[in-house]
Structure 1
Amino acid sequence: MTVCRDCCCGSPRKHPSTDHDVQLGTLRAGLEPHHRVRVSQCLDVCDQSNVIVVQPDPAARRGGARPVWFGLVHDDAVLGGLMTWVRAGGPGVAPLPAILELSVITPPATGNA
């Protein structure tokens, strides 16, 4: 999982009601050590901040699964849904929960993450 934390994502100026440090801590506490949570600089979809990208595991990627990008991740329910989905296998393994469907975004044309 890649968590954008740069100019807009993780910005208390842009999203003052989201505790970005707590959000990142929650992801790490809920997913590591079995799933890697890394922080990235700008992923070039600032209008959709906070952005999180979930990578498929290697076997799922070999089977054709691709990363899934999520935007506007500010809600604890969405964060919880992400963690549950990742623990269930994530892209290419587990079906996407309904709570996450509205958060899926199109990655930028540059192909980051």
Structure 2
Amino acid sequence: THEDTAGRHETLTRGAVQTVTAGTGIRHVEQNRHQNQELSFVQLWFVPYDWDLAPQTSSHIPTAPTPGEQLQRPAWRALARPSLSTACEACVPVGQDVWLFVLETEEPGFGAGY
């Protein structure tokens, strides 16, 4: 569950991506409010193109496959894109020249042979 000083409150599910622009300053706290559930996530920090940006939060929760639609695995899925790029509408913009991808594998905990 994410809560911030701007009043945003959000619970992110598997596959969701959230970006936070610290800009001129934020207060950042991560907590697992579900004591009986394991929490697993990756947190990455990037130095932005520009300094002195206004604090901002955005997120993207991917849509589930429609009935009959099957996700081919293993599959690379784009998560984030440079904010100056217009490619990948489903990606969250990141204020740096970086693309982020996730590899969806057949079974949780197993890598892919690439």
Fold match by TM threshold 0.5: no
Higher strand fraction (1 or 2): 2
Using CA pairs under 8 Å that are at least 6 residues apart, name the structure with larger relative contact order, 1 or 2. 1
Q: TM-score range by the shorter chain?
A: under 0.3
TM-score, normalisation: structure 2: 0.27
